[in-house]
């Protein structure tokens, strides 16, 4: 999976990238308690000071995309009526992961992403989530829209609806 374009004498850089890939996988698998923030920040630092920022940025986008795709495979809707709550719970969980990953990459954000005016990894992560979970051609999108429309109808008929989940899903879709 790793793109091996590092120079021969930069084994430490390759190990740093591998360490970061493993860290992102662990974060998405909820095994982050085994990670050292300092080691991961240092791995990013090594790559940035050795002018591997572009590769680090691109590889990290791939790591994130692959993990989001795995989350999709693991996501199932138990019942149609709970789709709002289930998807919102997943969004909150994944968003916490994104924020954790963002903190590891602060050095890259400051020294590369901002200067090149590129989308941040947090922004990319959130967009990937929307792209894969909420694409308009997907089954989940249709189920979600049906449940939201049903909630709006219930609200108009003065029935009780889960307004917190509805608001959360609406703001998630605005990203």
Return all residues near 36 (Cβ < 8 A) that are at least 6 apart: none
User: Domain span at residue 23?
Assistant: 11-173
Which of 6-10, 53-57, 83-87 has maximum average pLDDT?
53-57
Task: Please tell me the total count of domains within the chain.
Answer: 1
- Inside any domain, residue 57: yes
pLDDT at 80: 67
- Inside any domain, residue 81: yes
**134: domain CATH number?**
1.20.1310.10
pLDDT at 119: 92
pLDDT tens per residue, range 9-62: 368 888 888 989 998 988 888 886 677 888 888 889 988 888 889 999 999 999
Nearest to 10 by CA among 45, 44, 46: 46
Confidence (pTM): 0.77
Average pLDDT, the chain: 83
- Inside any domain, residue 4: no
Instruction: Answer yes or no: are the C-beta atoms of 16 and 46 closer than 8 Å.
Output: yes
Instruction: Answer yes or no: are the C-beta atoms of 5 and 55 closer than 8 Å.
Output: yes
> Is pLDDT larger for residue 137 or for residue 119?
119
- Inside any domain, residue 2: no
């Amino acid at each position: 999976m790793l793109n091996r374009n590092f120079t021969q004498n930069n084994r430490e850089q390759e190990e740093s990238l591998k360490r970061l890939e493993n860290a992102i996988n662990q974060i998405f698998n909820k095994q982050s308690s085994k990670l050292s923030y300092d080691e991961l920040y240092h791995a990013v630092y090594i790559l940035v000071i050795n002018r591997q920022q572009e590769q680090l940025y691109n590889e990290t986008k791939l790591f994130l995309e692959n993990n989001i795709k795995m989350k999709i495979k693991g996501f199932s809707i138990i019942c149609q009526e709970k789709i709002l709550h289930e998807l919102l719970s997943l969004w909150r969980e994944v968003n916490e992961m994104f924020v954790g990953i963002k903190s590891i990459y602060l050095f890259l954000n400051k020294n590369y992403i901002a200067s090149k005016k590129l989308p941040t990894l947090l922004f990319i992560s959130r967009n990937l989530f929307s792209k894969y979970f909420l694409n308009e051609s997907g089954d989940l999108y249709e189920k979600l829209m049906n449940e939201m429309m049903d909630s709006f109808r219930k609200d108009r008929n003065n029935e009780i609806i889960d307004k917190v989940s509805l608001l959360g899903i609406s703001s998630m879709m605005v990203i």
